[in-house]
Amino acid sequence: MCGPNSTLGENVYIASSEAHMGYRFVQCSRCGEIYAISISNETYMDSSCLDELSCATCRCRLAESLHDYPEQYLKKDGTIGLLDIYSIDIDDEHSVLRDFYQLL
């Protein structure tokens, strides 16, 4: 379960700590698509695993376009915004269920 943070004027989805369930999130810096990466799989991979993968939305090479999410997020104007996720309370009333592509 995650919730959009509309106080930024952007929809930034923030997963509650119990909702991570062994995943971390990354985002394509070109189109904003969000991906989940299994922390257990990430331990055994190297960066060359991403060389063959392209974004499901914009088809760019993910090895060149991923950044941590939601600490960094693609803003509507195309720039990367920074967010201190520990300063935000997740409001259950505005929580949504969202599916993400899983990379690894």
State the pLDDT at residue 5: 47
* pLDDT tens digits, 50-94: 788 899 999 999 988 999 998 999 999 999 999 887 777 767 777
* pLDDT tens digits, 13-50: 776 555 557 788 899 999 999 998 888 776 556 667 77
> What is residue 61's three-state secondary structure?
strand
Helices (H) and strands (E) in the chain, counts: 1, 8
Average pLDDT in the 3-20 region?
58
| DSSP at 10 | S
Q: How far apart are CA 36 and CA 46, in angstroms?
A: 16
Q: How many CB atoms lie within 10 A of CB 43?
A: 7
The pTM for the full model equals 0.77
